[in-house]
Structures are given as structure tokens and as C-alpha cells.
Chains A and B, each alone.
Chain A
Amino acid sequence: MIKALKILVFFLCLVPFLVLLWGLVTANLGTNPIERITHTTGDWILRFLVLTLAITPLRRLTGWNQLVRFRRMLGLFAFFYGCLHFTIYVLSIASLNVSEIANDIAKRPYITVGFTGFVLMIPLAITSTKKWIARLGGRRWQMLHRLIYVSAIAGVLHYLWLVKADIRYPARYAIAVGLLLLFRVWTAVRSRQPVTQVSGG
């Protein structure tokens, strides 16, 4: 059952990519195809990061623990769209000019922060297998994978700093990521409470 559902979710996650690919093949990506691809993949990175971050809170709220079995796939899709996003940037904006890319990353805060968020996803993608969980040990693996919080914040900042005046769209992601991270803070504080009670008593 879960297995069939996972296959279904996998193909659903691939739909935005297939739509772009279809647009590319039929030359139907609008007036500024590069911009369309960049914006679409950028949006989907943030959406998948939000979905990945939503798994744990949803699990707690619904009690449906099987949800965690979708988390890796959602996280990897965030990385997949991140790779597309970065590739199209390198191909177009910087046209494979290494010094220009390095200059862009160093000089422009929105690119610095976006690039950081993307790079931090690389170790997470690599260590996403069961083998790596075993190799690192659950606790250390979990610590490492908290880097996704940084990636999500970086992604939101990247978008916020990019827009010229209208921050409605990035603000939606900022609120979503903010709430999901607040949930972590809240559960961390709550789980510490018994300890304080003991030390207080």
C-alpha cells in the first residue's frame, strides 16, 4: 500500500519537471524561457522544502507515522529542483564563465545565500540512504540533517532579497517555513520542561 503510494507521489513530484520539459520541447515557455525555468524550479525547491519540513509536524498532529516514509523522497526532490535551478543559472546568467559565477556568488548577497542553501543540501542528499544512517548513527545523522533548516531559511532569504518591490510571494514561504521551524522550537522547549521541573524540585 505505502509502496504504491510512494510510486504515485514520486510521479506527482516529477510533474512540474515534465511540464517544463514539454514546454521546452514544444517551444512554449513564454517570452523569457530562462526566466520561466528559473522561477518555476525555484518555486518548487521552496515548496518541497516546506513539504519536507511539514512531515514531522503532520505526523505529530495526525499520528500517522507512515508519513515519515515520504520524507526522504520529498527532500531529494527539493535537491533535484535545486540542481536544475543552479544549472540553468550557470548556463544562462553566467554562461559557464567560472570567474563570473564566483564573482556573482561572492558579491551578490541573494546569490550568496541561495548558493549556500543549495550547497548545504548536497551532504544531505548524499547521506540520505539507509547505509549512511547506519554509518553515522541515528543521532549524528539527525544532527547533520538539521541543516535543512538552514537551507530553507536561506532559500526564503534568497527569494526575499531577489524581488524588487512586491514581496507577497516570498512572504508566503517565509510564513510557512517560519511556522514549521517554530513548531520545532515549541516541541524542543516542551520536551525540556520535565527536566526543569526535576531540577526545580
Chain B
Amino acid sequence: MTLGGPRVDRPAEPSSLFTTDEAEAPPLTLRQLTWRRFRRHRVAIAAAITLVLLVVYAFGGGLIVTEKYANYTDTSLRLESPSSAHPFGTDTIGRDILARTVYGGQISLIIGLTAVLIETLAGVLIGAAAGFYGGRIDTLLMRFTEAVFNIPQIFLLIVMAKFFGGMIPNLTVLGRTYSGSVVVIIFIIGLTSWPYLARIVRAEFLSLKENDFVLAARATGTRNSEIILRHILPNSAAPIVVSATLGVANAILTEAYISFLGLGVQPPTATWGNMLEGAYNYVATAPWLWIFPGTLILLTVLSINFLGDGLRDALDPRSRTV
């Protein structure tokens, strides 16, 4: 091994001081380091695998059963318990629960991901502007954030769902028809959940912008927009990624929550949440109505949370473990 001291004192012949040792083992990049740390986190790895399986279940399953079948009603088959024809049983109007968990899963996961996209965009933009520019902009944006923060999300959700519920007609994307309520729910969840992220991003920016490398970048003539996006934002990637991951779980839960109250995505479009809605009268008599969608929600949320934990540890630049 060589000592880690500076290897250069004679710039004229640079390569002579380069030892074979170092040539054989190039140092790890940030990405490799992160991956190594993530790999250590067994639970997070298991969670990631579970998530992949869930995605395969929802989207791969769609290739096997058709949506028509998932929405096919046969009242003569109401509340059938699991059997070989209907492995997860049937619901209150005779629809196959297995097929509905597949299509419901697609919607739930899509809602989770897109709502977080909106949340992250809004949260990062508002937080970054407030933290970087400070002063009056900061005051204005943060008071607004607090205002949104102070309204209990569930009331906001219910009111907005009621208000915007019928406003968007059904959409047809790639040959499939979605209830317009899906879009409404995505936006409602996205637009009510950003304040928390905005605060995190603002706090990150407040401390990061005081760093010497920001001054150095300004001394290089770098524009503000470039400093925000290229210099500061990557430094706050860890908390954003973690919060976004956890946000997906939250969005799926929130969707389940309001769909359960009958204000969310409207049938016949299935989601894991609105499948639970019809189940609460049959908690004891037909448990398969809630066990399957409930378990899927639980699994998804749990694995996303564990994944978030793993990412938090792996992305922490202060963590020195390799």
C-alpha cells in the first residue's frame, strides 16, 4: 500500500509517481459507494424486491386478465369465497377480486407515483426559491406553506374531492378508459402534500447556500438558476429522494383513505382503496373482500417505507461506512 499523501512534487513527469496499486483499484464513485451502503441494508433490499414483485403483479397481471373481466358483474356470484375459479373470491356484485386487485394495483401505484411527482415538483420549487432567495420571497412562500400546512389534509382532501369530483370527464389513454376522478385524486394528493417537502428543501438550501462552493461558483460567473439546479439541488438530493419515496406510500394510503370514504376514485375503476369501501359491512362474514386489497396496500406501504429507510442511510454523504 502507498500512503495517501499528495503524489505530486514534480509536475514535469507526472505519471512516474503513479503506483500500480492505485491503477488496479480505481477509487469508488459516489454512486458505487451509495450502492454498497444500500446493499448492506438487508431489509431495504427485501423491500425493493417485494416492490418489484408488486409492480410485476399489477402491470404483468394486466397482460393475463383483461380489464373487462375485472369489471364484469355477475350478481349470481355475489360474495363467493375463494375458489379455483375465483382465487381471491368475488365482491358484493360478483366481480373477481383477483382481477380487480391487479387493475386496482395499477391505479393505486400510478396515483402514488404521479401524485409524488407533483408533490416533489411543487415542494422543491417552492422550497428552493424560498431558501435560496430568502428575504421577502422566503417570507411570502413560507407563510403560504404554513397556511397549507395548517389545514388538516384530510378535510382539504374531502372538500376538494367533493368540489372537483365531477369536473373531469372520463379519459381514454392507450385504449383504456379511466374515471376522471383518478386525475382529480392525483392532483388533490399532490397539491396537499408538498408543504412538508418544501420545508425540508428550504432548510437544506438555507444551509447549503452558505457553503464556500456556492461562493466559488458565483466567482466563476455561474448564473443563479444554474447554481440552484446544478450546485445546490444535487447536494440536497438525499432528503428529497427519501421524502419522495415515503411520499409514494403516503399517497397510496391517502388514496385508500378517501376512496374508502367513497370520495376517491369512482367505480367501476378499481383501486385498492375503493375495493375496501364495499368491504366494511362484511368484515366478519366475507373477510376476503378486505384481506387481499388490504394486504397489498400494507405490503406496498411497508416496503416503500423500508426502501426509504435504506435510501436514507445509503445517500447520507456524512455516512462513512463503505
Q: Indicate whether A and B interact.
A: no
Q: List residues of chain A with CB under 8 Å of any chain B CB.
A: none
